[in-house]
Amino acid sequence: MSNAAKLLREKKDLFPQNGPVPNRRILVIDDEPEIGEAIRRVLAKNTETNVTPIRRSSRSTEPTPTPVNTANEFDVVVVTTPEQAIEAVTFAMRENRPFAMGFFDVVLGAEVDGIELVKQILSVDTKMFAVFVTAYHDRSVDTIGALLGEENREKWDYINKPFTDGEILQKARNATSLWDLHRLKDWQEERLSEAHQLLITNEKQNAVAAVGRSVAHEFGNLLMHIVGNAELAIEQNDPARMRAALDVILKASDTATNVLRRFRKLHDAEEQATPKTQFNMRTALEEAIELMEFQFRKNYIRIHRPKVDTMNFKGNRHSFVQVFVNLFINSMHAMKDGGEIFIKLEEKKECLEISLRDTGPGIPEDILPRVTEALFTTKGKNGTGLGLAICKEIIEIESGGRMTVQNHSKGGVEVILQLPTGGEEVL
């Protein structure tokens, strides 16, 4: 038995609860009904221990019989024409009960031979494996490979005539095990993707919580303005002073609305998923600074804004607000006794370059290469190890740019973001 087959039969926990179900469905196509029926008797469920050996085709010599036990192993469907094979595969897909593999006679005595039939079936079911039953004078292995194409190189195998029952069983076990392993891999990748999205959501919530403290502080200040001027308006008998107080209230209300809107966009999944549009990177930067303003004041962080007022870029503005917020939070955590953040925006030949440098202690050289790895953190229970990893994903995967984290010669950490402007990724 192959290693793949042993793995799937010995390690039943490979298929977790609600995971993929092992597939033992097999399609057999041969224009000689007695050959197809003989293969079915070898493979089908509830077969007797001593299987009737496969009788030879008119195109092959007598095989050597091999007694085997295949009880309750495979679910087999036998057809004799290419049309029946296509219909069986189509129906199986529609019923969500696909075939894991099929045995295909190469010379079918029809206009469509076994190789062409497999090509047609792979257009219906791309995951099905094929084993060709062939005599050397039918088609060579190289010919079959050339006809099916390089893209299907791993989708087929062959068995030469004459063959034994044991060889049929081995090919069936290998092919169905491969089908199971591929589906298990797909299932695990889906679960990993879901877990990755959950981690990203948790990191966003951490950023939102940090920003939320700023928002709460801003609302506290705004409410003081509103309440104070409302009381002043009530006490005033002078219409001009009353109007001035009401103007302050309206302005404070507008500011509160804008703060709330920015906060909502930071964690709104639908907002984050908006298509790429042209926007001013300086505007995204200012949004992030405003969201973090209270935290900066509280932690004695001074921001040195860039001299550039306009730097247009096509992308997802909300993603970049998230990037800046995450980078600000990282710098703030590094500068526990206060410090400065220097920001530069530059338009270079084929990219936009953004650099953010703090005056913190820097990063030890031995761990510097790992700081953008997902789940790597130096903050213990206070960190998730996702902030820089998410920034890197947004910059490099979503935007086709490059993100570099390095220690600056003057001290502190410098993060450099290079974003393409010519439609090609930054190398």
Q: Is 80 helix (H, G, I), strand (E, B) or coil?
A: coil
Mean pLDDT of the chain: 76
**Least trusted range by pLDDT, from 3-17, 220-234, 291-305, 402-416:** 3-17
Q: Is 355 helix (H, G, I), strand (E, B) or coil?
A: strand
Please report the pLDDT score of residue 354 as a whole number: 95
Answer for the pair 39, 65: CB distance below 8 angstroms, yes or no. Answer: no
Both structure tokens of 48: 């007797």
What contacts 24+ positions apart, CB below 8 Å, involve 84-93?
84/29, 85/27, 85/29, 85/117, 85/121, 86/117, 86/120, 86/121, 86/124, 88/27, 89/27, 89/121, 89/124, 89/125, 89/128, 90/124, 92/25, 92/125, 93/124, 93/125
pLDDT in tens, 331-367: 988 898 999 999 999 988 888 999 999 999 998 888 8
pLDDT in tens, 235-255: 767 777 777 777 767 766 665
pLDDT in tens, 99-152: 999 999 888 876 778 888 888 888 889 889 998 887 655 566 666 666 666 666
Q: Which helix (H) or strand (E) holds 322?
A: helix 317-334
Domain extents in the chain: 3-193, 269-427
Q: How far apart are CA 43 and CA 55, in angstroms?
A: 15
β-pair partners for 405: 415
β-pair partners for 168: none
Mean pLDDT of 57-75: 51
List the one residue out of 310, 336, 330 whose CA is nearest residue 392.
330
Mean pLDDT of 373-389: 62
Angle at 171 between CA 41 and CA 150, to 5 degrees: 135
pLDDT at 289 over 70: yes
Instruction: Please indicate whether the domains covering 3-193 and 269-427 agree at the CATH topology level.
Output: no
Higher pLDDT, 398 or 211: 398
pLDDT at 400 over 50: yes
Please report the pLDDT score of residue 182 as a whole number: 86
Q: How far apart are CA 176 and CA 211, in angstroms?
A: 52
Please report the pLDDT score of residue 90 as a whole number: 93
Q: Which CATH superfamily is domain 269-427 in?
A: Histidine kinase-like ATPase, C-terminal domain (3.30.565.10)
Please report the pLDDT score of residue 256 as a whole number: 63
Mean pLDDT of 187-202: 73
Please report the pLDDT score of residue 92 as a whole number: 92
110's CB contacts (< 8 A; 6+ apart) are 31, 81, 82
Mean pLDDT of 261-274: 54
Q: Which class does domain 3-193 fall in?
A: alpha beta
Q: Which helix (H) or strand (E) holds 416?
A: strand 413-420
pLDDT at 84 over 60: yes
